[in-house]
Amino acid sequence: MSAIMYNLGMFGRIVIGVWYLRNNQAAKRILILQILFTCVEALGITCLLAVGIGAAINIIGIPFLANINQDRMIYTLLIMIITRELGPLLVAFIVIARSATAIATEIAGMVISHEIEAYISVGVDPIEHLAVPRFLGVAISVFLLNIFFSIFGLAGSFLIQQFFTQLPASVYFSYLLQSLTLPDLLISIIKGLVFGMIISTVAITHGFAVGNAPTDVPVAGLKAVGTAFGLCIMVDVILSAVYYLVTLV
Q: Quote the distance between the C-alpha of residue 214 and its chain's center.
A: 29
Distance CA 125, CA 94 (A): 30
Provide mean pLDDT across the span 10-14. Answer: 78
Whether 149 has a pLDDT exceeding 90, the answer reads yes
DSSP state of 234: H
Q: State the pLDDT at residue 211.
A: 79
Dihedral (CA of 112, 113, 114, 118) sign: negative
Out of 37-41, 233-237, 244-248, pick the least confident. 244-248
The pLDDT value recorded for residue 156 is 78
What pLDDT sits at residue 89?
94
What whole-number distance in Å separates Cα of residue 108 and Cα of residue 103?
A: 8
**What local confidence, expressed as pLDDT, does residue 125 receive?**
83
Confidence of residue 39 (pLDDT cuts 50, 70, 90): very high
**∠112-41-235 over CA atoms, to 5°?**
75
Q: Hey, how many other C-beta atoms are within 10 angstroms of the C-beta on 80?
A: 16
Name every residue whose Cβ is closer than 8 Å to that of residue 217 and which is 6 or more positions away in sequence.
105, 108, 109, 112, 210
Q: Across the chain, what does the average pLDDT equal? A: 86
User: Which DSSP string do the residues of 98-160 spell out, in sequence order?
Assistant: IIIHHHHHHHHHHHHTTHHHHHHHTT--HIIIIIHHHHHHHHHHHHHHHHHHHHHHHHHHHHH
Cβ–Cβ under 8 Å, residues 9 and 114: no
Lowest mean pLDDT of 12-16, 218-222, 237-241, name the range. 12-16
- Compute the distance between CA of residue 53 and CA of residue 249 in angstroms, rounded to an integer: 30
pLDDT per residue as tens digits for the range 76-94:
888 888 998 899 999 999 9
pLDDT at 190: 94
pTM of the model: 0.89
User: How far, CA to CA in Å, does 207 sit from each of 80, 100, 104, 152, 213?
Assistant: 35, 10, 4, 34, 13
Per domain, the residue ranges of the chain are 2-248
- Stretch 123-136: mean pLDDT: 87
DSSP state letter for 20: G
